[in-house]
Amino acid sequence: MSTELTFYTNPMSRGQIVRWALEEVGADYRTVIVEYGEDMKGPEYLAINPMGKVPAIRHGDQVVTECAAICAYLAEIFPEAGLLPEAEERAAYFRWLFFAAGPLEQAVTVKSLALDMPEDKAAMLGFGTFENAVSALEGYLDRHTYVCGERFTMADVYVGSHIEWGLSFGTLPGRPSFKTYAERIAARDAHRRARATDQALIAEREAQS
């Protein structure tokens, strides 16, 4: 595709998810590092994302923000990468992609902030309880190799990143199905390339500080 694709990120951010997605689809892209503080909240970047957060992509005159949306978009515009779901995989693909972006992230955030949610208010929350959200995903991965069954799709980039980070930072319990799944996706070449790039950028910043 000839339309330029620009990736706005910071290596110490959720932009790592999108870099992995970009590597998976084999896209040619230009990286713009957006620093925290004035850079990210300045008018130039706010014109890209009014939330003042990374990551974001600009594809021609189109802008996409939010990691799950970017991942889904990249799978759509690079269908040759084979990361879109087949007809029989669509239900699982969309179900767990949005589950990770909604209930799972909400549950992890609430727990990480040690917010006290009364049991009688669980029905008002999109995730119910932390245990409910975690167990739902665990139960599914106990029975499936990837989100869509036996085949890796773009949903695994997003869901897998949540699980990897949750295990690394202790925000998700180290359950066997999570560990096995995380090891499986981390072995992918695109994952290794993406992480190596971001780790090199992080090391460069640390050396300059």
Residue type, 164: E
Q: What is the pLDDT of residues 26-41, one digit of tens each?
A: 999 999 999 999 999 9
**In angstroms, rounded to a whole number, what is the distance separating the alpha carbons of residues 182 and 202?**
22
Q: What is the pLDDT of residues 72-102, one digit of tens each?
A: 999 999 999 999 999 999 999 999 999 999 9
Enter the pTM of the model.
0.95
DSSP string covering 152-204: --HHHHHHHHHHHHHHHHTSS---HHHHHHHHHHHTSHHHHHHHHHHHHHHHH
Taking residue 208's Cβ as centre, other Cβ atoms within 10 Å add up to: 6
What pLDDT is attached to residue 2?
52
